[in-house]
Amino acid sequence: MKQIRIMLLAVVILTTGCELWRPPATTPDELSKGLVVMYPGALNSTTEMAGVYDGLREAGVDHAIEVVPWEGPGANFLMPTTFLASQRPWAKAEANRIIQYSADHPGSPVTLLGFSGGAMMCILVAEEMPEDKSVDWIIMLGPGVSPAYDLDPMLSRTSRGAVVYWSPIDLLSSQITVALGTLDGVFGPSAATYGFTSKNTKLIQIEWSSANSQYGNDGGHTSYISSASWIRDFVAPEIMNIR
């Protein structure tokens, strides 16, 4: 049933271009406490991240939360060999925007959170930051990125590092990236199914287990965004503990 709901959501967005949900506007008080920037997956839709937003708020995350679609339509991911180059200008502008936020709110923590293709956006934005600038924390849910992608440049632009959630039974992601390629242009299973090969000590990788099922996360690709209770109990604490 959950997969059917996600498919219907995809049909609505791709055929009509309509968003079914948009996040509430941020407030000055929220911005003073911190910023969470969420990048959606292949649909490149704010609607994709509604469950994540709800889970963070249910947990008591009081930071400003933005959902930022990346450059161009979601169909850009169908061109994996040129995708990264096409997104670099957007990523640089987004990095500059986040740097400006930090300048305006010194000491306020910044978290980048990406689902599926949005995890690649987290990586690109961090890579485009100058060496003397950084975000606090990066969270990647089911990243549509090749397992061997070099994460060191991204991790060097974080103060705490990054956490990756992946599932060995994420068959949907494997099928898609074998056929269409990961967003960094590799045709094969992604880190969503196998995790990253990086041994960098700033990278934490968390493998799905059956214990997650009681929170509505069945290990499938879309469980990361459709289970607000899982986000509340597993992801939100990662953000709330960065102060």
Domains in the chain, start-ordered, CATH in brackets?
2-240 (3.40.50.1820)
pLDDT at 74: 47
Query: Does residue 164 contact residue 191 with C-beta atoms inside 8 Å?
Result: yes
Phi, psi of 54 (to 5 degrees): -60, -45
Q: Is the pLDDT of residue 242 over 60?
A: no
Instruction: Give me the mean pLDDT over the 51-80 stretch.
Output: 83
* pLDDT category of residue 167 using cuts at 50, 70 and 90: very high
Instruction: Give me the mean pLDDT over the 177-203 stretch.
Output: 94
Question: What's the whole-model pTM score?
Answer: 0.90
Residues 6+ apart with CB under 8 A from 63: 30, 33, 34, 35, 36, 108, 109, 111, 239
Coil, strand or helix at 38: strand
Q: Is the pLDDT of residue 76 over 60?
A: no
Query: Does residue 184 contact residue 144 with C-beta atoms inside 8 Å?
Result: no
More confident residue, 9 or 100: 100
pLDDT at 10: 47
In angstroms, the CA 230 to CA 136 distance is 22
Helices 117-127 and 80-104: crossing angle in degrees, nearest 10, is 60
pLDDT at 46: 94
In angstroms, the CA 60 to CA 55 distance is 9
More confident residue, 186 or 18: 186
Q: Is the pLDDT of residue 183 over 80?
A: yes
Give 145-159 pLDDT, tens digit per residue.
Answer: 999 999 999 999 999
Reference 118, options 207, 62, 53, 43; nearest CA is 43
Tokens of 51: 């469950």
pLDDT at 17: 54
Q: Is the pLDDT of residue 217 over 70?
A: yes
Query: Does residue 120 contact residue 144 with C-beta atoms inside 8 Å?
Result: yes
pLDDT at 71: 78
What is the sign of the dihedral through the CA atoms of 153, 201, 52 and 174?
Answer: positive
Catalogue the E-assigned strands of the chain. 35-39, 64-67, 110-115, 135-141, 158-166, 203-207
pLDDT at 180: 87
In angstroms, the CA 134 to CA 160 distance is 10
* The residue to which tokens 């469980």 are assigned: 223
Q: Residue 109: is it exposed, middle or buried by C-beta count within 10 angstroms (0-12/13-18/19+)?
A: buried
Tokens of 100: 């400006």
Instruction: Give me the mean pLDDT over the 159-177 stretch.
Output: 94
The H or E element containing residue 239 is helix 236-240
* pLDDT category of residue 79 using cuts at 50, 70 and 90: low
Instruction: Give me the mean pLDDT over the 46-69 stretch.
Output: 96
Q: 197 vs 58, 84, 129, 151, CA distance in Å?
A: 33, 20, 23, 10
Q: What is the mean pLDDT of the chain?
A: 89
Tokens of 14: 């791709």
